[in-house]
Structure 1
Amino acid sequence: MSTAYEVNFDGLIGPSHNYGGMSEGNLASARNEGDVSNPREAAIQGLEKMRLLLRAGLKQGVLPPLPRPNFDLLVAAGFSGSDADIIEAAARANPKLLKAAYSASSMWAANAATVSPSADASDGRLHLTTANLSTMLHRSTEHPDTTAALISIFGDTDRFGVHAALPMHADFADEGAANHVRLCAEHGAEGVEVFVYGRDAGESAVGFPARQTKLASESIARAHTLSQSRQVFARQSRAVIDAGAFHNDVVCVGSLDTLFYHELAFEETDATLDAIRKAGEGLFELKTVMVPEADVPIGDAITSYLFNSQLLKWPGEDRLVLLAPLETQETQSTRAFCEKMVEGNGPIGRVQYVDVRQSMRNGGGPACLRLRVVMTDEELDACHQGVLLDEDKIDRLQDIVARTYRDKVVAADLADPAFANECRLAREAILECLGLSELD
């Protein structure tokens, strides 16, 4: 077994961060639609979270924001002329479409891809499949640029397999690692990959959209050359989807041998846990922390984003640490549960709170902001070094943000061609800092 590390690749929040309210089923996004956003504060909050983990001794990477506005989308919709012409025409004819073209939702890197480490793959490579995010228009346009970024970072085809997004059809709807949990004894050991889906291909339902299909998850498992005996497909409960849990990571998070989940997370909880235990035979003994509905009502779990937290093996600590948003501390039921949990002798020994309010107001907590990639020393050496962070690089990124990002964005700003140019220049500076200028 090779030494391996869980590397958190956080999405750097882009300069067009705004409260567009475009994500059906995401209650925070809808609730804050049209509010004034602060892209500068949002990016600084994200970078400070990255700094916190780096200082703790964890490996930390970053993914750059995508080009915004997305002129490909606007041109496909029939707008033409100069950049300024396109923006001004779209603002008059279809401001909702312009809002989608400016979406900064790639900040939520948990939706960038599904990742399987080389320890799980029969071909011995680390695999990443870009999510098609086909359910929502504003996210469905991300995958070409995301794939290009992943290829630039994980370009060594002997060690990495970067797979393009699945077909853009409802039967293949895929939302990435937000519906995927990997469990193992140690990061470098073979593990069990749990794929959580909301519906079968061809199935429709009344209520909020189920964004992940079983067919999509099965297709990714095949492409990643995973052992059939070490994979589990679990159905997310319809009740939590309709309550606003648009991804599994809003009601469940796992790390190493521990699964932390809400009582209502799965359609068939006992069968799901039994399947995980069977798949993990000989590898690890599953530890579970179930949060009862009686202690934390599902509404509180969703608004506080208790489960959209990072569950981490913190250097120097025997038990896992839950890195949760401040909203979890400020919600009475979740704060009380966390206090009781850490007083016991279970696998989670501490909860640390972090301020990511700008992201939270758009419906994404600490776990949304990162893509977990388990990597060996050799794989770390083989990836693009410019995206691996140290204190100096975080400082340089924060300087760029302070210099190029606005501290206030409202809907009317999206109609201003000058804002589009600001976003372009900010991204160019970020790419240069990360050594990824080829992505311009």
Structure 2
Amino acid sequence: MNAFEVNFDGLVGPTHNYGGLAVGNVAAAENALTSSNPREAALQGLAKMKRLFDLGIRQGVLPPQNRPAADMLRKLGFAGDDLSVISQAAAAAPILLRACYSASSMWVANAATVSPGADTDDAKVHLTPANLPSQFHRSIEPPATSAILRKIFSEERYFQHHDPLPAGLYFADEGAANHMRLCSDHADTGLEIFVFGRSADQAAPKPLKFPARQSLEACEAIARLHKIKAGKKLFIQQSPAAIDAGAFHNDVLAVSNCNVLLYHEAAFDDWWEIEEKIAAACDYPIQFIRAAESEIPIADAINTYLFNSQLISLPGGEMIVLAPVECEDCDSARTFLERIVQDTTNPITRIEYVNLRQSMKNGGGPACLRLRVVLAKGEFEAVARMSRVILDQPLHDELKAWIEKNYRECILPPDLADPLLLRESRTALDELTTILSLGSIYDFQEA
């Protein structure tokens, strides 16, 4: 079966702001309540998509969600029309207002877990939207995420959609940020690795400072729902110490691509046993590229998001790392990446640096902004046929002009009370659904 990986990136929404909402996210806390630039953020994200497109990678676009979430404010006791509830929340509960304005759906690595048809018993692509119960501002996202994914991946003969898992920490699920896949080729059956931070077992080790967001029970449920082939799933615990250091998701300290796993040794306790388990589960050689604490301290790894880089196979077979520019500016991160490229025993041949400073300041690097979806040729054609979410030069140019027309250059916390921001955001999103040929996907459009 001819199959390939498609990167679906989340467009940064018009209300991108630094609300400081994510507990355990060091960057988000450090930049809380400072000035954001939504226009620059969206253009930086689009430029990353275009760079991958130019490299020959199939690149998709996922739209942002409608913000502010005025209906949520009504559920929390504020009454009246949208502008009225925003005004009330600004006066009485500004933290809630920031949460309902959050543009966090841009980080679509948390949108869902996706299993390709090569890995599933029914040969369908399975998608489960994350329920995201650990952070209030993200727990708002699942219904809209589900609707968007069902719209884009709509042909039932190819795609099997599941509802988000039941809400609550028992089945806490943060999506593909805690999911890795190893394979000899994207078209072949792979090993799906589910990384969890907590479990119902009270004796299991737990972080002491920050909450563990992904549960073992959620991982096991998704593996069952997705009908992962026997022997092709593995459950691994994230190091509690890594979570307390600020690695709130596994993808902050580990990234995989085909038969390569690039990770920091602090990502997992007893990393040597983890490598043995992974190698034993694969009938092809796995290349482990492990960074030692002596090479790059975990604090540098988290601050630079080195392991939140994208590890990508180009059409000709070359493998590259797409890293944030913060890695180039950090001696330990840059030296480690240069060492990888110079090591001819692994397939990584070069490093490309990308400027995503607006996203990075809120705690999301290159890998946070994309959802990896392996599609066979017919599945890809079905997606391209049903909407206009696959990037090409004309779509890039339209999206760039749309951003420049509709996005503000600056948002500060007091600006969230501005009624014009709501109107600007909805005008922009209404135009976007036309550009992407998605029809009416937002509640305000239905109204």
TM-score tier, shorter chain, comes to: over 0.9
d(CA) in 2 for partners of 1:254, 1:87: 42
d(CA) in 2 for partners of 1:214, 1:321: 31
Deviation at 1:202, TM superposition (A): 6.0
- Select 2:423's aligned residue among 404, 414, 421: 421
Give the aligned CA root-mean-square deviation in angstroms.
Answer: 1.0
Deviation track 1:3-50 (CA, whole Å, cap 9, x = no partner) reads 111000000000000001100100000000011100001000000100
d(CA) in 1 for partners of 2:300, 2:434: 42
Instruction: After TM superposition, list the pairs within 5 Å mapping 1:386-425 onto structure 2.
Output: 386-425=388-427
1:296 matches 2:296: yes
Instruction: After TM superposition, list the pairs within 5 Å mapping 1:99-248 onto structure 2.
Output: 99-201=98-200, 203=202, 205-248=207-250
d(CA) in 2 for partners of 1:164, 1:106: 17
The residue identity in structure 2 corresponding to 1:388 is I
Aligned to 2:306: 306
The residue identity in structure 1 corresponding to 2:312 is L
Deviation track 1:344-387 (CA, whole Å, cap 9, x = no partner) reads 11222211100011000000000000000000110011123311
Change (3 A) 1:115 1:391: same
Deviation at 1:205, TM superposition (A): 4.8
* Equivalent pair of 1:197/1:235 in contact (CA under 8 Å): yes
The residue identity in structure 1 corresponding to 2:309 is S
- Point out where structure 2 has 5 or more consecutive residues left out of the alignment: 443-447
Instruction: After TM superposition, list the pairs within 5 Å mapping 1:346-357 onto structure 2.
Output: 346-357=346-357
My pick for the range that moved more, 96-105 or 196-205, is 196-205
d(CA) in 2 for partners of 1:94, 1:15: 22
Deviating 4+ runs (over 2 angstroms): 201-206, 315-318
* Equivalent pair of 2:208/2:244 in contact (CA under 8 Å): no
2:367 is paired with a residue of what secondary structure?
A: coil
Deviation at 1:72, TM superposition (A): 2.0
* Equivalent pair of 2:21/2:29 in contact (CA under 8 Å): yes
1:229 is paired with a residue of what secondary structure?
A: coil
TM-score normalized by structure 2? 0.96
* Equivalent pair of 1:235/1:268 in contact (CA under 8 Å): no
* Equivalent pair of 1:178/1:368 in contact (CA under 8 Å): yes
d(CA) in 1 for partners of 2:173, 2:182: 21
* Equivalent pair of 1:107/1:369 in contact (CA under 8 Å): yes
Aligned to 2:56: 57
d(CA) in 2 for partners of 1:219, 1:329: 39
The residue identity in structure 1 corresponding to 2:254 is C
Aligned to 1:8: 7
Instruction: After TM superposition, list the pairs within 5 Å mapping 1:23-38 onto structure 2.
Output: 23-38=22-37
* Equivalent pair of 1:170/1:201 in contact (CA under 8 Å): no
The residue identity in structure 1 corresponding to 2:427 is L
Change (3 A) 1:169 1:81: same
TM-score normalized by structure 1? 0.98
Give aligned pairs, total: 436
d(CA) in 2 for partners of 1:209, 1:221: 23
The residue identity in structure 2 corresponding to 1:172 is F
d(CA) in 1 for partners of 2:9, 2:20: 22
Deviation at 1:201, TM superposition (A): 2.4
Matched-pair identity in % = 49
Aligned to 1:437: 439
The residue identity in structure 2 corresponding to 1:224 is H
Deviation track 1:184-240 (CA, whole Å, cap 9, x = no partner) reads 011010000000000112656531010000000000000000023111101100111
Aligned to 1:277: 279
Deviation at 1:415, TM superposition (A): 0.6
- Point out where structure 1 has 5 or more consecutive residues left out of the alignment: none
* Equivalent pair of 2:17/2:411 in contact (CA under 8 Å): yes
The residue identity in structure 2 corresponding to 1:387 is V
d(CA) in 2 for partners of 1:367, 1:258: 16
* Equivalent pair of 2:207/2:240 in contact (CA under 8 Å): no
* Equivalent pair of 1:13/1:104 in contact (CA under 8 Å): yes
